[in-house]
Amino acid sequence: MLNPALGIISRYRDRLPVTDKTPVVTLGEGATPLIRADRLAEYAGLPADSVYLKFEGSNPTGSFKDRGMAVAVSKALEEGARGVLCASTGNTAASAAAYAARAGLRCMVFLPKGGVALGKLAQALMHGAKIKEVKGSFDKALIAAFAEAKKSGFVAVNSSNPYRIEGQKTAAFEISEVLGRMPDYQFMPVGNAGNITAYWKGYRELKGSKPKMMGFQAAGAAPIVLGNPIPNPRTVASAIRIGNPYSWQAALRARDESNGVIAAVTDREILNAWRLLARLEGVFCEPSSAAGVAGLLKSGKKGHLSGKIVCILTGHGLKDPDTPLKIFKS
């Protein structure tokens, strides 16, 4: 096996849209741990050795975005881009800023004003991204970013960029390698819906029985569940505070082709799952990352889950130091 520290492009070169001419921009992303979570399984009423946590917080900038950004920024560099830009609830911005810095490209990020966790903002600043704050939700920031991409020629590295999806699909390969087969269920948060799209693409490229894709939106930001866009999405989980996801249709396809579910969990359920992960398993993810686990706890109680279950923990808890201090102050 190739040294995992070389990053996803080296490891999965034959399954990614790169050639010998593509300059590889990597920070050693991927090869994140798949953590067996027996105490969480027991809490959910499930047998030992059934629940695993894919901890994407241990990527170089602390979220799963690094997988997609490695490919998107490498391709932008190959194609002679002047710079990259994105709209973001924070993690995409942090990742784009870091990979652009490494590639020697300029980076511009459009952020919902007041809607980005502290650590993510600090990362974008530190890596030298030009920050544009947009009044309103992520959805408005995305419109502004697309308009700027048209005007400036900077490459948009949101999950609208197919190279992002290609990079992110590699997490499905890793899970299958570690388990020796694909899981039976995969629980994960859904925001702009790029990641559920990417995982499903990854699983589709493998041979064998595929997982049911179980996606969870926050109840105050659940357009896919409700079937219409939400003008003012609300949730404590700022990373998935999105009212009109770009990959809406692709997420529905992932759900339907896999016989899965896209459902909502309340902020209370998200925060409960988030705290349980920290206290039962020693795993500190950001609140949004716990939405899939909140969904698992709900489904586990109904008693129709079986086999191997993977929960995707999308980002590191240190991204958002304010939320624990606000919620668990005493």
CB of 319 to ligand F0G, least distance (A): 7
Among 10-18, 28-36, 187-195, 202-210, the segment contacting ligand F0G (CB under 6 A): 187-195
What is the token pair recorded at 66? 């690094």
Closest CA to 185 of 258, 250, 257, 254: 258
Q: Is 258 in the site for ligand F0G (CB under 6 A)?
A: no
Q: Is 193 in the site for ligand F0G (CB under 6 A)?
A: yes
Closest CA to 299 of 175, 216, 189: 216
Q: Is 92 in the site for ligand F0G (CB under 6 A)?
A: yes
What is the token pair recorded at 45? 């009423």
Binding pattern to ligand F0G, positions 93-132, x when CB under 6 A? ----------------------------------------
Between 139 and 281, name the residue whose CB sits nearer to ligand F0G. Answer: 139
CB of 228 to ligand F0G, least distance (A): 18
Euclidean distance between CA atoms 37 and 49, whole angstroms: 7
Total residues contacting ligand F0G (rule CB under 6 A)? 22
CB of 251 to ligand F0G, least distance (A): 8
Q: Is 170 in the site for ligand F0G (CB under 6 A)?
A: no
Q: What is the DSSP letter of 213?
A: E
Within 269-288, the residues that bind ligand F0G by CB under 6 A are 286, 288
What is the token pair recorded at 241? 């505070």
Largest alpha-carbon pair distance within the chain?
56
Q: Is 224 in the site for ligand F0G (CB under 6 A)?
A: no
What is the token pair recorded at 69? 């950004």
Between 74 and 288, name the residue whose CB sits nearer to ligand F0G. Answer: 288
Q: Is 191 in the site for ligand F0G (CB under 6 A)?
A: yes
Are 148 and 134 within 8 A, CB to CB? no
Among 14-22, 37-45, 192-200, 254-262, the segment contacting ligand F0G (CB under 6 A): 192-200
Provide the Cα torsion 203, 205, 208, 214; round to 10°: 20
Range 148-153 contact pairs with CB under 8 angstroms and sequence separation of 24 or more? 148/85, 148/108, 148/110, 149/85, 152/82, 152/83, 152/85, 152/108, 153/81, 153/82
Q: Is 183 in the site for ligand F0G (CB under 6 A)?
A: no
Q: Is 315 in the site for ligand F0G (CB under 6 A)?
A: yes
Q: Which residues bind ligand F0G (CB under 6 A)?
A: 63, 65, 88-92, 159, 189-195, 239-240, 286, 288-289, 314-315
